[in-house]
Amino acid sequence: MRLILVGPPGAGKGTQAKRLVSQLNIPHVSSGDMFRAAIKNGTELGKQVQEIMKQGHLVPDEVTIKMVIARIKEDDCESGFMLDGFPRTRPQAEALDAALAADDLSLDAIVLIEAADEVIIERITGRRTAPKTGAIYHIKFNPPPEGVEVTQRADDTEEAVVQRMKKYHAETAPIIPFYEAKGLLKSVNGLQTPDQVTEDILSVLGVRKS
């Protein structure tokens, strides 16, 4: 099964990605991970990406797409894959679609984890981390024990989260109608428990939980 997992920041994509690749027995293909691996391994593509990033520029779509296509042609992706972090924009979605078609490949589904902005903001801004243990808490839903010192990440402040949400709506959300028009979009309610979200995703994909 060939999937793309999308949703706003804080909707639980990371949690569901781990569960889905395990349930479906397919590799998790993350564009961010691929960039880091290419740079670490000193490949030609990695050197190109590193130079682009050094100059403070975004990696061009054609470079990212080339890397993604090369990755999903590897043997472990023969029975499927789950793309995470790509495509992030409508032009990337269109380019990916064309690149897949050129290789006689197609996507099976795009899973959208839905959650309202105000809930996302409450989720993220309430997160706290205990520096000594690495444990993650939430001031409302899972408060730290008394006496445990916690800190808030810089990108979890309300100002930072609002900016991330604006970027999501401006850049990534437009891929949703693109895939909906193709009949590939499957939406689930991200405000449920992680277990319920996983069950709903497997249900809309027509997969029986193992």
* Residues designated as active site: 13, 88, 127, 153, 164
Measure the CA–CA gap between 39 and 50, rounded to whole angstroms.
6
Q: For the chain, what is the radius of gyration of the CA atoms? A: 18
Closest CA to 107 of 16, 40, 184: 184
Question: Any idea how long the chain is?
Answer: 210
Measure the CA–CA gap between 26 and 22, rounded to whole angstroms.
7
Sign of CA dihedral 192, 193, 197, 199: negative
Amino acid at 168: Y
Give the sheet arrangement for strand 2-6, strand by strand: 28-30, 81-84, 2-6, 109-114, 185-189
How many beta carbons lie within 10 A of that of residue 149, not counting itself? 11
3-state secondary structure of 1: coil
3-state secondary structure of 21: helix
